[in-house]
Amino acid sequence: MTREELAAWGVRLSVKAARARSRSRSLQAEIARMTREVSETEEAAAVTLDRLASRYPHHAVRLRGMSEAAREHAALERQRLQRYLVAQARNDSAG
């Protein structure tokens, strides 16, 4: 391989790496957005289930249990998001 071919190969490789890093950042932002949306949806579901529990006392125990489960899932998603953002910040500062 000539020097020119090696230089061209190096440039192509550098461009591919930059595209991969850009795609990675884009996907990371999408993951964070989706995790936030899941958490918000679970919270909204919990509020709705609480409202239904107050309107239908004969189903209140079951509906409140479902509401609590939704809130727990929302909290889990917020924890996942926080861990993800911390890990992402570490990766950004390392590289």
Domain-by-domain residue ranges, the chain? Answer: 26-94
Residue range 26-33: average pLDDT?
90
- Whether 39 has a pLDDT exceeding 90, the answer reads yes
For 63-83, give the DSSP string: HHHHHHHHHHHHHHHHHHHHH
Provide the strand spans (E) within the chain: none
How far is residue 37's CA from residue 15's CA, in Å, rounded to a whole number? 33
pTM of the complete model: 0.74
pLDDT of 61 strictly over 70: yes
Integer CA distances (angstroms), 17 to 49, 76, 88, 90, 95, in order: 48, 34, 18, 20, 13
